[in-house]
A and B are shown apart, each in its own frame.
Chain A
Amino acid sequence: SGELYCSLPNPRNVHFESVNMKNVLHWSAPEGTGDGVLYKVKYSVYGVGKWIRKPECRNINRTWCDLSNETSDYEEQYYASVKAFLNGMCSDWIETTRFNPLTDTKIDPPMVSVSSTEKSISIILTAPEKWKRSPEGESVSLLQVYPGLQYNVSVLNKKTKKRWWFSISNNTLVVPWLEPGTAYCVSAQIHVTTPLLHSGFSKEHCIATLKDKTA
């Protein structure tokens, strides 16, 4: 009768991977199954009664599914679930743990731009944007999502290897009283106190202070 017999091993490690609230469901293939396994995906808003199928992830052979669009309201929490099919057999639906986009996302480092004078360098930091549906879509900075967002900034004197640390809330920093004609390297990290989130450090941006004209 074409009834599917659900004794296929289950997909494993079904979980959300989220960066800047781009929320992608990932999983591993069932144990011992080679090629040819297909998958279906559904998701639900926690507290709301129904599971919703994701048509773009129906009968797919890849092991991920982008659910950013469906989980973009970060005032809600979500579950997602995956089912595997192979040769007329299927697995159980395997669910994620409850996903909270606000606390469970990872944040990219800030963009860093630097300029210099003889004795100072100016640093401008830009927090990454929240994932958006399309390039034309409205840009929302993570600063708006996390009002308590701060920046940890490291400034290294390449000559003396001396390093300073700054923790700032606004996005600009001027470091005064530096040595003319000297290279300094800047790196920055985003830090949110609650919920506790922090990005990695940006790559180093190096710049030299101008030479002392009077020397």
Chain B
Amino acid sequence: TAGNKIFQFGPCKVSMSMTEIRSGFNAIKTNIQARDPIRTLSILSHPHSLHKVKPSDRCCITHHLFNFYVDKVFKHCKTEDSYVNRKISSIANSFLSVRRKLGQCHEQNQCMCGQESTEKMKQILGNYEGLNVTSAAIKSLGELDILLDWME
């Protein structure tokens, strides 16, 4: 479809409707980020930035990040705004299909996570569990552009 982009994560090549995801996120970004009052904590980018992940670990950490968003974020992001909810489920569906493709390739190629990115994922989950589920999920959703910027 238009706006599909091919991503190479180590041995895994995945096509993703990046334009669709980006425009969906842009439509709700201000709304979602306004629901997150905590400035002093980031789920994804602190203390260590995603940009410090070694290229060899990209396959593994992307796989885990997509699992994180599908399993722990989208399902806890219900809002009172049906427009926002529709956009969230559209993004979630795009993530679901990428996760499936990435999961298959991840298994076949045994993408291994190095020690650094294992630490990074532990830190992300630690940041997430440091908040109540709804706050953590909304904060993670508000940081989707951090993930997309890093992927690109």
Contacts and interface: CB of A to CB of B under 8 A. Distances in A.
A100 B145 contact: yes
Nearest to B18: A194
Interface string B15-47: 000110011001000100110000111100110
Contact of B45 (A76, A102, A103): A76
Contacts of B40: 47-50
A98 B142 contact: yes
B23 A100 contact: no
B46 A47 contact: yes
A148 interface: yes
Contacts of A49: 40
Interface in A101-139: 102-103
B51 interface: yes
A50 B46 CA distance: 13
Given A97-B30, A98-B33, A195 B22 contact: yes
Contacts of A102: 145, 149
B49 interface: yes
A196 B3 CA distance: 10
Main secondary structure of the interface of A (DSSP, over half): loop
Nearest to A193: B19
Contacts of A196: 19, 22-23, 26
A100 B152 CA distance: 15
Nearest to A50: B40
Contacts of A97: 30, 33-34
Main secondary structure of the interface of B (DSSP, over half): helix
Nearest to A78: B39
B57 to A, nearest CB: 17
Contacts of B19: 193-194, 196
A165 interface: no
Contacts of B146: 77
A193 B3 contact: yes
Contacts of A27: none
Nearest to B41: A47
A194 B39 contact: no
Contacts of B5: 193-194
Interface of A: 44, 46-50, 75-77, 79, 97-98, 100, 102-103, 147-148, 193-196
27 contacts: A47-B39, A47-B40, A47-B42, A48-B40, A48-B46, A50-B40, A75-B49, A75-B149, A77-B45, A77-B145, A97-B33, A98-B33, A98-B142, A100-B149, A102-B145, A103-B145, A103-B149, A147-B152, A148-B152, A193-B5, A193-B18, A193-B19, A194-B5, A194-B19, A194-B22, A195-B145, A195-B148
Interface of B: 3, 5, 18-19, 22-23, 26, 30, 33-34, 39-42, 45-46, 49, 51, 142, 145-146, 148-149, 152
Which 8 pairs from chain A and chain B are nearest by CB? A47-B42, A47-B46, A49-B40, A194-B18, A98-B33, A75-B51, A194-B22, A47-B45
Given A100-B149, A194-B3, A195-B22, 12 more contacts: A44-B39, A46-B45, A47-B40, A47-B46, A49-B40, A50-B40, A77-B145, A103-B145, A103-B149, A193-B18, A193-B19, A195-B148
